[in-house]
Amino acid sequence: MKIAVIGANGNVGTELCFLLKEKDEVVPIVRNRMGSIFLQHHGLKCRIADISIDDDAQKTLHDVDVVVIAAWVADRFSGSQNQTSKAINEKLIKNSVRFSTKNSTIIYLSTIRAFAHKVDPKTSRFWPPRYDKEKQHLERVLVSECQREKKKGVAFRCGHVFGEHQPSTKAMKKLLSGRKKLVIQANSDWKSNIVHIVTLNNAIFRCIQPDVKPGVYSIVNNPQWTWKEVYENYNKNSQIEFKPAKQVSRNISNSIWKILKSNKKLMVPILYRMPKSFEKHLLRKLSMRRIKMEISMLNDKEYVFSGNFNYVPMPGPFLAGLADTRELLKKYSPEIFKTS
């Protein structure tokens, strides 16, 4: 079975290629030779093509049984989509469905951000186009195109991806090696929405099975990990203290504060019209943050905060039948990135 990975030179795409090749023939697809260097250095034979172009897609996907779309094209200035990048992302999905083999399975890697404010309370409801809406639209494109071509289409709303090649994992390891005392400003028993790359790999093989129906699935570790379990998994020598996040009171000032934080363009005009007392309130908040940072340095403690700590646990439906993430991690080693 041939499994193609579009966007194989991205963080997720690269690590998936190394894992997928352990079981089947993997076909990394990149748009230029520069993007293929790392993969080819490690013995992976890349196909250089732009799947948004019909001719390239037909030549590249004609013998592929499974297509994993791990690519995301965005406007390089805004990081979001303009009309051109939106059309390219749609074309990637449509051509993957159209030009792969007759009974192929198409897997689109979407994101937890597609849940928008249902998971992230700070998601902006203003200033479109929004990233969550863009992802939801592409999920619908996948479903409709697969129905038209009578192929199986599955979209994974992936949690925060961890793995040896992922920036989030590297940042956490660096943090834990650099400080002896860490204060994690999160509820220790709060579900993390993290998915390790080994579980994502497992989900790909799982959805190829005939009992898995087409549709959109949430993908997180199996079973879900709490933030305490995440940090303990990587903690070697650091002393970790979890400081529960405070519940935000639902008053007017906090509601306005949330809007301001999620919509920076509103900050200046709103502050201009607000009473001075509100401006003083904001300044006090900022001052308290600075003081906490200074105290943490004096006490040889580092306070760790991430917007991900405030995410609500992902709703389903979840993909059933996945292996235990801890058992998968026992079999996984960074050695896969070394040349043979």
**Six-digit token string for 76:** 């390089």
**Strand arrangement, sheet containing 239-242:** 239-242, 181-184, 301-304
What's the whole-model pTM score? 0.81
Residues 129 and 83: their CA atoms lie apart, in Å, by 10
How many of the other CB atoms lie within 10 Å of CB of 60? 24
**For 198-202, 302-306, 311-315, which range has the lowest pLDDT when averaged over its residues?**
302-306
Domains defined for the chain, CATH in brackets: 2-163+191-225+310-337 (3.40.50.720)
**Six-digit token string for 103:** 């009974």
**Six-digit token string for 46:** 């890349």
pLDDT at 220 over 80: yes
pLDDT 10s digits, 80-114: 567 788 889 999 999 999 999 999 999 999 999 99
pLDDT at 128 over 60: no
- Give the per-residue pLDDT at 107: 97
Taking CA atoms, 338 is separated from 166, 201, 229, in Å, by: 16, 19, 28
* DSSP result, 73-114: ---TTTSS--HHHHHHHHHHHHHHHHHS-TT-EEEEEEEGGG
pLDDT at 286 over 80: no
Q: Which of 201, 135, 203 is nearest to 165 (CA)?
A: 201
| Secondary structure of residue 25 in the 3-state scheme | strand
pLDDT at 249 over 70: no
pLDDT more than 70, % of the chain: 78
**For 108-122, 183-197, 264-278, 291-305, which range has the lowest pLDDT when averaged over its residues?**
264-278
pLDDT at 262 over 90: no
Per-residue pLDDT, averaged over 174-186, amounts to 80
pLDDT 10s digits, 200-219: 999 999 999 999 999 999 99
pLDDT more than 90, % of the chain: 47
Q: Per-residue confidence at 296, pLDDT binned at 50, 70, 90? A: low
- φ, ψ for residue 38, nearest 5 deg: -60, -45
**Six-digit token string for 5:** 């990975």
- Give the per-residue pLDDT at 86: 84
Residues 182 and 240: their CA atoms lie apart, in Å, by 5
Which range scores top for mean pLDDT: 36-50, 138-152, 173-187, 278-292? Answer: 138-152
pLDDT at 195 over 90: yes
Q: Per-residue confidence at 45, pLDDT binned at 50, 70, 90? A: very high
* DSSP result, 174-237: HHHHH-SEEEE-S-TTSB--EEEHHHHHHHHHHHTSTTSPSEEEEE--SSPPBHHHHHHHH-SS
Taking CA atoms, 308 is separated from 119, 197, 294, in Å, by: 10, 18, 23
Higher per-residue pLDDT: 244 or 13: 13
Considering the chain, what is the average pLDDT of its residues? 83
